[in-house]
Structure 1
């Protein structure tokens, strides 16, 4: 029988990725969500308040942390409600919106990391041209590009799937992602090809660009004096750590969809919780500890709070 509210004409999907000990996981995830919001907001506020942090590198960091908050807020509130509910269900329309936000913000993170890599490349490899290249207009265009381009890419398959017919109403997962495609009666080959194009343009190509820029930075740094090498390590290492963390998220999301039938339910559940929480929680910690200027402001703030 089709799960539908006849009066409202709303189709519901059951989320079948939950395991026992839901109350324990609720406490853990609520704590993690509160911490990640507080950590990210704290760094963003420091960047906004202090004028010496009004530089392209820190503006990109603030944008990245804002992206992390939006990413977490797309998943965690519904997750917390489901932990306390007897039935874990979501309307098909809400599921599509979560899919859109998940992949839109995931793609934006890669493009923001690409913008940060370009900023570091210009700063270290072309220091004399840096003020002329990384102007306010350039930073604004890069930020708009990082958010608008993924939104335009991701909205296409989501919009086309609004009226798609479902032959199954049970999703193997705790939130809506690409697994939703397995519920459709007919899979579109055109959308599958489009998905590969999106993955290349918003995932692989930005990754290759980041690796190229950091390779150039490393070569220049080792050919230069100790100050430039130290600057390269201080500013580039946090970005590389964040890139590695986020690459794990994307890899896991792709692999688990392909291997979901062979992946133990409990292992998939625990790994999913870690992946969706780890990166947004670690990003502000990495930048707070590894970026000298942000770290100094944090230390002063903590001293004032004592």
Structure 2
């Protein structure tokens, strides 16, 4: 057995059984990452440059895309390098940095989606008070909460994990994750478990708030045909995004906690990274195609680029 004093690198074993097709996986992963960057950057640039999109909903969408780029930056560069390498290792500090970035991004996305649910609730259920409630000061506070709260959660979780003495250095995934490190601990990790339950409670509360918001939104839409159209135009993309993201997170949690080694390696790898593939890939497409104002501005921006060429 080895303790944390001798652990300087971690071995990532998720790619061990896919070495024979590593160039194919590299090409697929590179294409996915480039498309994620392209789609999210296009939406970010469009929202920033078009003053008509400087409204609460679009500002939150912009932050969602920024967070998507931030989170994927914690996974893809290292993953792409591992596909081209025969040794899949990561330094001790690099491992914990990856844990922080990936999980901070996940918490941030869920918090932003919660804030967006409140924005849609006010827009549908209190339309006459919308501009008096969703002021730029309120938006600034929500954005501050969306980034600072997850940062604090991630920092506390990281320090609780770093303090653990480790009796191993092999991680059965494509990347470092908190649960895999905790399982390598030589001591009882009751503090980490308690913090984990608190963390789950906080984000389950956010999920319940989203459900509560949409109950009231649906009630309002049943009474008004106009609100029904607003729901399909602006709320449906958000609801679809929440469902996709929640499903991806549940898959990751179930895999991390109860994943069996009898499952094919390719399927285990997909389950481990889908939350960093599907949501950041689909989010800009959903909002870019469904929200009419964004779609028009994106087309206008693309036409400008074509004309200059």
Q: Give the TM-score normalised by structure 2.
A: 0.93
In structure 1, the residue matched to 2:289 is: 289
Q: Does residue 202 of structure 2 align to residue 205 of structure 1?
A: no
Q: Does residue 221 of structure 2 align to residue 234 of structure 1?
A: no
SS state of the match for residue 121, structure 1?
helix
Counterparts of residues 156-175 of structure 1 (less than 5 Å): 156-175=156-175
How many angstroms apart in 1 are the aligned matches of 2:127 and 2:163?
52
In structure 1, the residue matched to 2:189 is: 188
In structure 1, the residue matched to 2:14 is: 17
**After the TM superposition, which segments of 4 or more aligned residues of structure 1 sit over 6 Å from their partners?**
none
SS state of the match for residue 24, structure 1?
helix
Contact kept, 8 Å, 1:3 with 1:169, in 2: the verdict is no
SS state of the match for residue 161, structure 1?
helix
Contact kept, 8 Å, 2:8 with 2:91, in 1: the verdict is yes
Contact kept, 8 Å, 2:111 with 2:146, in 1: the verdict is yes
How many angstroms apart in 2 are the aligned matches of 1:269 and 1:292?
36
How many angstroms apart in 2 are the aligned matches of 1:246 and 1:47?
22
* Residue 100 of structure 1, CA deviation: 1.5
* Residue 115 of structure 1, CA deviation: 0.6
* Residue 101 of structure 1, CA deviation: 1.5
* Residue 104 of structure 1, CA deviation: 1.2
How many angstroms apart in 2 are the aligned matches of 1:164 and 1:57?
42
* Residue 273 of structure 1, CA deviation: 4.0
Structure 2 residue ranges without an equivalent (≥5): none
How many angstroms apart in 2 are the aligned matches of 1:209 and 1:259?
28
In structure 1, the residue matched to 2:256 is: 257
Q: CA offsets per residue over residues 76-129 of structure 1, 9 Å max, x none?
A: 000001111111001122111211221111011111001111011111111111
SS state of the match for residue 184, structure 1?
coil
Q: CA offsets per residue over residues 162-192 of structure 1, 9 Å max, x none?
A: 2422111100100111222111111321220
RMSD of Structure 2 on Structure 1 (CA)? 1.8
Structure 1 residue ranges without an equivalent (≥5): none
Aligned length: 301
Q: 1:190 to 1:272 in 2, by over 3 A?
A: closer
Contact kept, 8 Å, 1:3 with 1:11, in 2: the verdict is no
Contact kept, 8 Å, 1:57 with 1:116, in 2: the verdict is yes
Q: CA offsets per residue over residues 35-81 of structure 1, 9 Å max, x none?
A: 11111010011101111100000000000110000010011000001
Moved more, 28-37 or 90-99: 90-99
* Residue 249 of structure 1, CA deviation: 1.9
Contact kept, 8 Å, 2:26 with 2:84, in 1: the verdict is yes
SS state of the match for residue 65, structure 2?
helix
How many angstroms apart in 2 are the aligned matches of 1:172 and 1:181?
13
How many angstroms apart in 2 are the aligned matches of 1:73 and 1:42?
17
How many angstroms apart in 2 are the aligned matches of 1:25 and 1:3?
34
Contact kept, 8 Å, 1:64 with 1:112, in 2: the verdict is yes
Q: Give the TM-score normalised by structure 1.
A: 0.93
Contact kept, 8 Å, 1:60 with 1:116, in 2: the verdict is yes
Counterparts of residues 48-67 of structure 1 (less than 5 Å): 48-67=48-67
SS state of the match for residue 14, structure 1?
strand
Moved more, 95-104 or 294-303: 294-303
Contact kept, 8 Å, 2:237 with 2:290, in 1: the verdict is yes
SS state of the match for residue 90, structure 1?
strand
Contact kept, 8 Å, 1:17 with 1:269, in 2: the verdict is yes
How many angstroms apart in 1 are the aligned matches of 2:190 and 2:299?
54
